[in-house]
Amino acid sequence: EQLRREFSANVSHELKTPLTSISGYAELIENGMASGDDTVRFAKEIHKSANRLLTLINDIIRLSQLDSTPETTFEKVDLYEVAQVTVDMLAMSAQQHRVSLQLEGRKCYVYGNKQMLEDLIYNLCDNAIRYNVENGLVCVTVGEVDDNVFLAVRDTGIGISKENQERVFERFYRVDKSRSKQTGGTGLGLAIARNAILLHRGSIKIDSEEGQGTVFTVKIPIIYVSK
């Protein structure tokens, strides 16, 4: 109950900031206090805050869907194929951040929900790109270990300190709030990732060294497919 209350308070707070900005800039335009150039600048700010609200609301909806034991269709999914699609989606963003993004591995099947797995890999790779350094590397590997399929996302970025490693899965927890916001973060990505993994009866762990980089490793039970 306390977590729920904290979450509602945080949601209200997070939504309030961009809305206050939208309302403020719109009021200036309404009162005729913006000249031609200002109008364009204010419209840009309104646009930016509106996009931020949309991103936040999308993440909040996704999280609450995962909370309420959704009626999701599970099927045989090749995690390597999902990783390939996701890596392709992020190729442009990696280029913009001057980070090289690679995928290694081979076909590995799990019983899962494709969309949820795509969101999961997307969040991990997006973070690995956003919290990286110039000319950094992100390497995604899909393989088998024991009775599990593993997906490792390794980056050569800023790393996460030991204390923070335990907290980054909390809703709205961000190590560096301004960097997160500047790069379009909501502080919900890893909370969504963890919920999705739990629904797949999997696990996630972090290995990280500050200033060196981070590896997120996800394990999900394998389905053996007859050839």
Kindly state the greatest CA–CA separation across the chain: 71
Q: Quick one: 82 or 160, whose CB is closer to ligand ADP?
A: 160
Q: Is 189 in the site for ligand ADP (CB under 6 A)?
A: yes
What is the full DSSP assignment across the chain? Answer: -HHHHHHHHHHHHHHHHHHHHHHHHHHHHHTT---HHHHHHHHHHHHHHHHHHHHHHHHHHHHHHHHT------EEEEHHHHHHHHHHHHHHHHHHTTEEEEEEE---EEEE-HHHHHHHHHHHHHHHHHT--TTEEEEEEEEEETTEEEEEEEE-SS---HHHHTTTTSTT--SSHHHHHHTT--S-HHHHHHHHHHHTT-EEEEEEETTTEEEEEEEEEB-----
Q: Per CB under 6 A, which region of 40-48, 68-76, 87-95, 175-183 contacts ligand ADP?
A: 175-183
Exactly one of 94, 168, 204, 218 binds ligand ADP (CB under 6 A); which one?
168
CB of 151 to ligand ADP, least distance (A): 14
Q: Is 139 in the site for ligand ADP (CB under 6 A)?
A: no
Name 112's bridge partners. 75
Q: Quick one: 78 or 126, whose CB is closer to ligand ADP?
A: 126
CA–CA separation, 216 and 153 (whole Å): 5
Instruction: Show the binding pattern over residues 95-134: x = contacts ligand ADP (CB under 6 A), - = does not.
Output: ----------------------------x---xx--x---
Q: Is 180 in the site for ligand ADP (CB under 6 A)?
A: yes
Exactly one of 155, 200, 202, 218 binds ligand ADP (CB under 6 A); which one?
155
Q: Quick one: 91 or 225, whose CB is closer to ligand ADP?
A: 91
Exactly one of 18, 112, 185, 202 binds ligand ADP (CB under 6 A); which one?
185
Q: Is 176 in the site for ligand ADP (CB under 6 A)?
A: yes
Total number of residues binding ligand ADP (CB under 6 A)?
22
Q: Is 197 in the site for ligand ADP (CB under 6 A)?
A: no
CB of 18 to ligand ADP, least distance (A): 15
Residue 23: which residues within 8 A CB-CB, separation 6 or more?
A: none
Binding region for ligand ADP (CB under 6 A) = 123, 127-128, 131, 155, 157-158, 160, 168, 173-176, 180, 185-191, 214
